Amino acid sequence: MLINIVDVEATCWEGEPPPGQVNEIIEIGICVLDTKTGAITPPQSLMVRPELSQVSPFCTELTGIRADDVSDGLLFSEACSKLVTEFDVKNRIWLSWGDYDRKQFTRDCEHKQVGYPFGSEHINGKALHAQLTGRGKQMGMARALEAYGMRLEGRHHRGADDAHNIARIVARLMADHGPAILGERSSVAG
């Protein structure tokens, strides 16, 4: 089974958004995890041009994404179409670290009147990790990597790099607990 590992970056500010602006996706990081082999495809980054906000200096400091990086990016609707055609997101389970990414997609689809690109099966990787490791408390991606003795690869808060790091954690969970963990979604679906 192939699952899509997704991580998004969105416009953000230190404090509240400026009047008239909302958080919106500016990068979609995605890679594919083969649950039979544990193989992870190279991550891809879809840069998305903001339509309802601007990239703030705070956002650039956090993510490294500058306004110039997204000015020629895809429209959100184009990025969603690309996810459907190139990553079969309507038919594959997708996983993100926490529920933020799923909720941000839902908000962007509502604000921009774009059909939700994914199917209904989403796994909250953060909750799955907490459940399987018995830690109880959910931890951030960087901390979960540390717990496994893995180094963060790439830049934290970049969609493609974070998607790849999340896939590494999930591959480790599958190695420790078996690939069936991704089929037992009822308690970790988001």
For the annotated catalytic residues, the residue numbers are: 9, 157
Kindly state the tokens that stand for 138. 């959910």
Those residues whose C-beta lies under 8 Å from the C-beta of residue 164, and which sit 6 or more positions away, are 5, 29, 31, 40, 42, 43, 153, 154
**What does the CA dihedral 70, 75, 80, 85 come to, rounded to 10 degrees?**
-100
Give the whole-angstrom CA distance, residue 149 versus residue 91.
33
Kindly state the tokens that stand for 60. 């650039």
Q: Report DSSP state, residue 73.
A: S
Give the whole-angstrom CA distance, residue 157 versus residue 170.
18
Compute the C-alpha angle 190/27/116, nearest 5°: 45
